[in-house]
Structure 1
Amino acid sequence: MEHISPIIGPVIALVAWSLVMLFWAVGKALVGARSSAEAAALPKHGTRLRDLEPVSPREAAWARHNYEHLFEQPTAFYAIALALALMDHGDGVNLMFAWAYVGLRVIHSLIQATVNISRVRTAFFLLSTLALIGLTLHAAMEFLYHA
Structure 2
Amino acid sequence: MPDTRTHEAAQPQGRLCHVCDIRTNTPEESVVFTSDLWTATLAADVPGWIMITLNRHGSDWLWGLSPEEALTLGPLMQRLSEAARTEAGAERVYLMGFGEKWQHFHFMLLSRPVTVPEDLRGPGLLEKAPELADRREALRLGSSIRKRLAASDGQ
Q: TM-score, normalised by structure 2?
A: 0.24
Question: Could you say which structure has the higher helix fraction?
Answer: 1
User: Which structure has the larger Rg over C-alpha atoms?
Assistant: 1
Question: Could you say which structure has the higher strand fraction?
Answer: 2
Q: TM-score, normalised by structure 1?
A: 0.25
